[in-house]
Amino acid sequence: MPEKLSPEDKATIQAILDRATVDIEFREALLRDPQVVLDPKRQAPQKLSDNAMTLLFSMRRVALEEMGINVRASRAFLRDNGHSSSRAE
């Protein structure tokens, strides 16, 4: 099972996805190269944990939902991995 996200990480990821929903240039840059767009020196209001960055970089809808992120408005640009990230291998 993936590590839980802190409330701060959840809020930051939600804010990033919300911005990507309404800002086309930001969304395209996020999908193209999230490391550059989310460089803490440039964009993020606070530093995301490594777990949160990995989760956000994956852009996997189901994994984000499992961590409590509301992805309903972001479904059009998130990847659909089609299965639970906590599924037994």
* Residue 88 maps to a domain: no
Q: Where are the alpha helices (DSSP H) in 33-75?
A: 34-37, 50-58, 61-66
Which residue has better confidence, 86 or 75? 75
11: containing domain: 7-74
Tell me the CA distances in angstroms from 12 to 45, 49, 71, 87, one per residue in order.
8, 11, 13, 26
Residue that the structure tokens 């408005």 belong to? 73
Q: How far apart are CA 55 and CA 37, in angstroms?
A: 15
Q: Are 50 and 38 in contact (CB under 8 A)?
A: no
Please report whether residue 35 resides in a domain: yes
> Does a structural domain hold residue 79?
no
Is residue 29 within 8 Å of residue 50, measured between CB atoms?
Answer: no
Report residue 42's pLDDT band, with 50, 70 and 90 as the boundaries. low
Would residue 49 count as lying in a domain? yes
Stated pTM of the model:
0.76
Q: What is the mean pLDDT of residues 18-39?
A: 85
